[in-house]
Amino acid sequence: MQIEDKHDWIAKWGQHAVVILGNVAKRDYEVVDLEAGPLGPEYHANFAERGLGYVATFGLMLGQFRYAYAVPLEAEVIVTLAEDYSRFVLAKLTNPSSKRPDDGVEWLAKLWSLEDHRMGN
């Protein structure tokens, strides 16, 4: 992936990176998790039906909130989207079911329980 601009930079290197899809005229927005992988056709159909287009990219870089807007937005919309993003990150950090299998300490316990076949041990 070639880095073109701030949007790409956040998407490629940011933690908990999302894109914001929206219909600015209707004030209808959706936070889409980039780590979730490709979305199915039902999502694309829903987004098209609602008239959603690309609005912004949000992410955390070195612990700081980073953003890149594709279209100008009103201040209250920006605040609302930032709040939605904050709730999204909080849910990811506190919901064990959203963690990858190797995010916990279980892998370390498994590592220490492996047999050591070096030098007759």
In a domain, 26, yes or no: yes
The predicted pLDDT at position 117 comes to 77
pTM tops 0.95: no
Both tokens of 105, joined, read: 């300490």
The predicted pLDDT at position 115 comes to 81
In a domain, 1, yes or no: no
Side chain identity at residue 114, one-letter code: L
Cα 36 to chain centroid distance, Å, stands at: 8
Q: Determine the Cα–Cα distance for residues 16 and 106; give it in Å rounded to an integer.
A: 22
Could you list the residue range(s) of the whole structural domain that residue 113 is in? 6-120
CB atoms within 10 A of CB 55: 19
In a domain, 21, yes or no: yes
Q: How many domains does the chain have?
A: 1
Q: What is the pLDDT of residues 70-88, one digit of tens each?
A: 999 999 999 999 999 999 9
In a domain, 56, yes or no: yes
The predicted pLDDT at position 60 comes to 95
In a domain, 29, yes or no: yes
In a domain, 68, yes or no: yes
Q: What is the pLDDT of residues 7-40, one digit of tens each?
A: 888 988 999 999 999 999 999 999 999 988 888 9
The predicted pLDDT at position 37 comes to 82
**Per-residue DSSP letters for the chain?**
----SHHHHHHHH-EEEEEEEEETTTTEEEEEEGGG-SPPHHHHHHHHHHT-EEEEEEEEETTEEEEEESS---HHHHHHHHHHHHHHHHHHHH-GGGS-TTSSSHHHHHHHHS---GGG-
pLDDT at 101 over 80: no
The predicted pLDDT at position 105 comes to 67
